[in-house]
Amino acid sequence: MSDKEIIPYRPGLEGVTAGITAISDVIGAENRLIYRGYDIRDLAEHCEYEEVAYLILYGDLPTQSQLETFKAQLRASQQLPEAVYQTLKTLPREGNPMAALQVGVAALGMHDPKASDNSHDVNMQKAIRLIASMPTLVANSYRILQGQEPVSPHPDLDLAGNFLYILFDREPEPLHARLMNLTFILYAEHGYNASTFTARVIASTLGDIYSAVTGAIGALRGPLHGGANEAAMEAILEIGTPESAESWLMEKLAQKARIMGFGHREYKTGDVRAFILKQHVRELAEQVDRMDLYEIQETMERVMLREKNLYPNVDFPAAVVYYLMGIPIPLYTPIFAAARITGWTAHVVEQHDNNRLIRPRSDYNGARDRVFKPIRERG
Ligand SMILES: CC(C)(COP(=O)(O)OP(=O)(O)OC[C@H]1O[C@@H](n2cnc3c(N)ncnc32)[C@H](O)[C@@H]1OP(=O)(O)O)[C@@H](O)C(=O)NCCC(=O)NCCS
């Protein structure tokens, strides 16, 4: 590339096109999200997560028989090798669940003889394996960190239901299973976000799918990305009562604090996924008699809009949904990973199928032409 063709630096790569994808499109200006051409609103209303995972991975919605085959493949891959559990059992109890997830995914790769085969068909097999095993890994790695024994997946439950089943070692309530399924759909894919981009950068070196996913988990962990759902819930709990929500928020805003669960790089007039999920928070809050949490959320949304013109992103209602289901807060970001695995793996397949090394340049702003001194002359 000649100097004339160099594109000026944009902080955070905001507005920069960094690749081409047919998997999803975030149309922020219209508050829309499409997976493979289908509006997220339709998918959220009519589909189960497995159907959406098939769509994201294969490009088309499945027929009934394709879906049954896909589910059978998922069922066959849900359990983790015993050796992976043994590895997880060596980790410190106080360790971070996202780090445990990285260990688990790396270990899954080490026990896969085809880990380094990046051909399309083998990548698709590995993607299915990862989509199937991630909810098991998230729930069981957490159980192991808590000193509990892993639970085997239930053959009659879907992936989202199985996550709850393994975590609590009992069959989930229908409303909980349905809402977990919905959050899996909403979290499944989201264009060139930081973790997906990380996965694609790793894949572009011809790194394998397990390495790409391990890196993506690291990117997701930060509070500006997936970690926001945990931070949002901590804030809601710190607020405590609906009456203190406004003053708490005003104080934080006066301190120029960032309020987790609000704002988005792409959606400036609201995150469509938050709109979809929010409709269900009330039902759940009523069921468990925690309308106070619902009201805190409502007040925070009203004040953030009034003061900062910022809308909640998906992490805000997701945090409350998970809390109301009784899920421990350190699991919220790992759950995001259990669903986003679909998007990550589809992007790795797409990257490997039409690869070019991702290698941007940087503007150097350090010193130049310094006079070198041998070490003995440096004082
Ligand atoms: C997601 C996020 C990083 C996108 O930010 P961005 O597009 O880079 O926007 P900026 O960080 O440039 O913010 C623009 C302005 O809005 C403010 N802002 C953005 N999000 C804010 C938030 N959550 N709380 C308070 N102020 C916020 C910034 O302080 C900035 O104000 P300023 O111009 O007065 O300095 C940002 O909204 C954020 O940090 N949100 C909280 C974390 C979160 O929920 N992440 C999950 C995303 S799905």
Residue numbers of the domain that contains 158: 20-222+330-353
Task: Identify the band that residue 5 occupies on the pLDDT scale cut at 50, 70 and 90.
Answer: confident
pLDDT tens column, 129-180? 999 999 999 999 999 999 999 999 999 999 999 999 999 999 999 999 999 9
Residue 196 sits in the same domain as residue 109: yes
Of 309, 324, 339, the position where a domain reaches its end is 324
Q: pLDDT > 90: what percent of the chain? A: 94
pLDDT of 7 reads: 86
Which secondary-structure segment (H or E) carries 32? Answer: strand 32-35
Q: Is residue 7 part of a domain?
A: no
Assigned token pair, 362: 């940087």
pLDDT tens column, 52-63? 999 999 999 999
pLDDT of 296 reads: 97
Residue 340 sits in the same domain as residue 310: no
Regarding the beta carbon of 110 and ligand 1, being less than 6 Å apart is answered no
Q: What is the mean pLDDT of the chain?
A: 96
Residue 65 sits in the same domain as residue 187: yes
Residue 342 has pLDDT above 80, yes or no: yes
Residue 144 sits in the same domain as residue 77: yes
Distance 14 CA to ligand 1 centre (A): 13
pLDDT of 251 reads: 97
Residue 82 sits in the same domain as residue 213: yes
Per the annotation, the verdict on 315 as an active-site residue is yes
Residue 214 has pLDDT above 80, yes or no: yes
Residue 75 sits in the same domain as residue 130: yes
pLDDT tens column, 21-49? 999 999 999 999 999 999 999 999 999 99
Residue 171 sits in the same domain as residue 304: no
Q: Is residue 9 part of a domain?
A: no
pLDDT tens column, 245-258? 999 999 999 999 99
Q: Is residue 237 part of a domain?
A: yes
The domain tally of the chain equals 2
Residue 298 sits in the same domain as residue 199: no
Q: Is residue 369 part of a domain?
A: no
Distance 319 CA to ligand 1 centre (A): 18
Q: Is residue 51 part of a domain?
A: yes
Q: Is residue 374 part of a domain?
A: no
With CA atoms as reference, report the closest residue to 32 among 242, 239, 210, 275. 275
Task: Identify the band that residue 3 occupies on the pLDDT scale cut at 50, 70 and 90.
Answer: low
Regarding the beta carbon of 315 and ligand 1, being less than 6 Å apart is answered yes
- The pick from 248, 253, 265 for probing ligand 1's pocket by mutation, whose C-beta has the most ligand atoms within 8 angstroms, reads 265
Distance 148 CA to ligand 1 centre (A): 38
Q: pLDDT > 70: what percent of the chain? A: 99
pLDDT of 1 reads: 53
Q: Tell me phi and psi for residue 378, to 5 degrees.
A: -90, 5
* DSSP string across 313-324: -THHHHHHHHHH
> Which residue's CA is the nearest one to ligand 1's atom 29?
258
Regarding the beta carbon of 258 and ligand 1, being less than 6 Å apart is answered yes
Q: Is residue 99 part of a domain?
A: yes
> Which residue's CA is the nearest one to ligand 1's atom 37?
263
Q: Which whole number is the average pLDDT over 340-350?
A: 98
Distance 298 CA to ligand 1 centre (A): 19
Residue 123 sits in the same domain as residue 184: yes
Q: What atom of ligand 1 comes closest to residue 232's alpha carbon?
A: 44
> Which residue's CA is the nearest one to ligand 1's atom 2?
264
Q: Tell me phi and psi for residue 26, to 5 degrees.
A: -100, 110
Distance, in Å, from the CA atom of 54 to the CA atom of 115, rounded to the nearest integer, reads 21
Q: Which residue has the higher pLDDT, 227 or 58?
A: 58
Q: Which whole number is the average pLDDT over 111-127?
A: 98
Task: Identify the band that residue 268 occupies on the pLDDT scale cut at 50, 70 and 90.
Answer: confident
Residues 197/92, Cβ–Cβ less than 8 Å? no
The CATH number of the domain where 169 resides is what? 1.10.580.10
Residue 216 sits in the same domain as residue 317: no
Q: Which of 176, 190, 264, 347 is catalytic?
A: 264
Distance 155 CA to ligand 1 centre (A): 42
pLDDT of 6 reads: 83
Regarding the beta carbon of 265 and ligand 1, being less than 6 Å apart is answered yes
Residue 250 sits in the same domain as residue 172: no
Which secondary-structure segment (H or E) carries 53? Answer: helix 49-58
Task: Identify the band that residue 96 occupies on the pLDDT scale cut at 50, 70 and 90.
Answer: very high
Residue 318 sits in the same domain as residue 176: no
Q: Is residue 365 part of a domain?
A: no
Regarding the beta carbon of 264 and ligand 1, being less than 6 Å apart is answered yes
The CATH number of the domain where 308 resides is what? 1.10.230.10
